[in-house]
């Protein structure tokens, strides 16, 4: 979601598309090429049309984009895919739909992408921290909620970016965006200006409020890879703060299938709270629950962790455990955002 909004913002600055507004935010809205039963959000405009497929519902094969961006390939959405090989094969099939005059933009640092790279028959543009990438980031500096880096294209320096979203994963998002902009012949100066003015997206490290010296942030991350990246970004940006994570697992199938990865992905949290699993229309599995996840996390070195099942009770129960200077992160794809909002309200009352 963050990467799609960055793309729309940059292309707006480059004169390729219009800026949209949706019901949640005044930030750019994702323009969608196809309608499906899972999203009512679709927009059309003159010039280029930006599109985002929904991997959560299976990759949409009803259209063939001129440019396709593949940021990473992970084991995910096991209700649609058998294993990681099935997912990689699906990506290859989707990429193969790109017309001869199009291109695929790929993160060279991702192991699963690197694995399928020799099998891709379309024109490839790569990005990453790897010096072999077509577009690379060097001299990366992070801190205080920002990141700055130097951009090089095939070894030639294009300029420096100062970006308001912290974390190295957002450097990757910015590089992908720059690749798209350059491919659309948008001047680097316009791309840089758009990135430097970009203020973030709904539910991606979104500041919810502050009170009593405590900061509350919300993030949609629910896959172990996302969680590691988000926690690392927060620790890079605010190393002096104690990080309190309120995590709501999302889907029984995901939590069970990725349990080995979940066991160790919270190590940068100073205090972890796990809730009941958000079902997202799935039936419960006897093999997994929020309590089981908590026990596994504790077995694998998480020293301070507890279970609070109901999100509705979470803010009130966690408040006595908080300290001035804490950064509280509500984390997950379900309704965990409500716990952060409740906490902000309680902090305002106590102030």
The answer on 179 and 155 residing in a single domain is: yes
Please say whether the beta carbons of 123 and 131 come within 8 A. Answer: no
The answer on 10 and 154 residing in a single domain is: yes
What is the rounded distance in angstroms from the CA atom of residue 31 to the CA atom of residue 71? 18
Neighbours of 260 (CB within 10 A): 10
- CATH number, domain at 215? 3.90.190.20
If residue 252 lies in a helix (H) or strand (E), which one and from where to where?
Answer: helix 252-257
Place of tokens 């900061």: 215
Reduced DSSP (H G I as helix, E B as strand, rest coil) percent helix, strand, coil of the chain, to 5: 35, 20, 45
Q: Find all residues with CB under 8 Å of 286, minimum gap 6, and list them.
A: none
The answer on 139 and 212 residing in a single domain is: no
What is the rounded distance in angstroms from the CA atom of residue 199 to the CA atom of residue 40? 24
- Chosen domain end from 197, 228, 244: 197
Structure tokens at 178: 């720059």
Range of the domain at 23: 2-197
The answer on 143 and 170 residing in a single domain is: yes
Closest CA to 242 of 341, 324, 144, 347: 324
What string of pLDDT tens digits covers the 351 residues of the chain?
Answer: 445 555 545 555 555 444 433 333 333 333 333 333 333 333 333 344 444 444 545 555 566 678 888 888 877 666 667 778 888 888 898 899 889 999 999 999 999 999 999 999 999 999 999 889 999 999 998 877 778 999 999 999 999 998 877 778 889 989 998 999 899 888 999 888 888 877 666 667 788 999 999 999 999 889 998 899 899 888 888 889 999 999 999 999 999 999 999 999 999 999 999 999 999 989 999 999 999 999 999 999 999 999 999 999 999 999 999 999 999 999 999 999 999 999 999 999 876
Query: Which CA distances in Å does 127 have to 30, 72, 113, 171?
Result: 22, 12, 11, 10
Q: Could you give the number of structural domains in the chain? A: 2
User: What does DSSP say about strands 156-163 and 124-128: parallel, antiparallel, or unpaired?
Assistant: unpaired
């Amino acid at each position: 979601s963050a990467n799609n909004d960055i793309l729309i913002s940059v292309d707006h600055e480059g004169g390729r598309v219009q800026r949209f507004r949706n019901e949640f935010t005044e930030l750019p809205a994702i323009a969608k090429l196809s309608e499906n039963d899972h999203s009512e959000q679709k927009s059309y405009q003159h010039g280029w049309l930006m599109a985002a497929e929904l991997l959560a519902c299976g990759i949409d094969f009803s259209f063939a984009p001129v440019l396709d961006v593949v940021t990473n390939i992970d084991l995910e959405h096991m209700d649609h895919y058998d294993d990681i090989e099935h997912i990689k094969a699906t990506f290859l099939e989707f990429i193969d739909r790109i017309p001869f005059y199009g291109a695929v933009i790929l993160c060279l640092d991702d192991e699963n992408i690197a694995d399928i790279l020799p099998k891709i028959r379309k024109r490839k543009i790569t990005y990453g921290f790897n010096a072999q990438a077509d577009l690379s980031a060097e001299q990366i500096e992070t801190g205080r909620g920002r990141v700055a880096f130097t951009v090089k294209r095939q070894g030639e320096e294009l300029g420096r970016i100062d970006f308001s979203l912290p974390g190295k994963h957002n450097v990757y998002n910015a590089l992908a965006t720059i690749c798209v902009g350059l491919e659309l012949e948008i001047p680097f100066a316009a791309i840089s200006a758009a990135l430097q003015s970009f203020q973030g997206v709904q539910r991606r490290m979104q500041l919810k409020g502050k009170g009593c010296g405590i900061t509350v942030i919300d993030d949609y991350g629910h896959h172990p890879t996302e969680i590691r990246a988000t926690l690392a970004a927060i620790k890079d940006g605010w190393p002096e703060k104690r990080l309190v994570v309120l995590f709501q697992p999302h889907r029984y199938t995901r939590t069970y299938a990725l349990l080995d990865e979940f066991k160790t992905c919270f190590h940068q949290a100073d205090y972890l709270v796990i809730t009941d699993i958000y079902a997202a229309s799935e039936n419960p599995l006897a093999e997994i629950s929020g309590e089981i996840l908590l026990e596994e996390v504790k077995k694998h070195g998480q020293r301070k962790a507890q279970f609070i099942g109901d999100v509705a009770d979470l803010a009130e129960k966690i408040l006595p455990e908080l300290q001035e200077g804490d950064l509280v992160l509500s984390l997950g794809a379900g309704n965990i955002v409500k716990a952060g909002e409740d906490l902000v309200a309680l902090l305002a009352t106590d102030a």
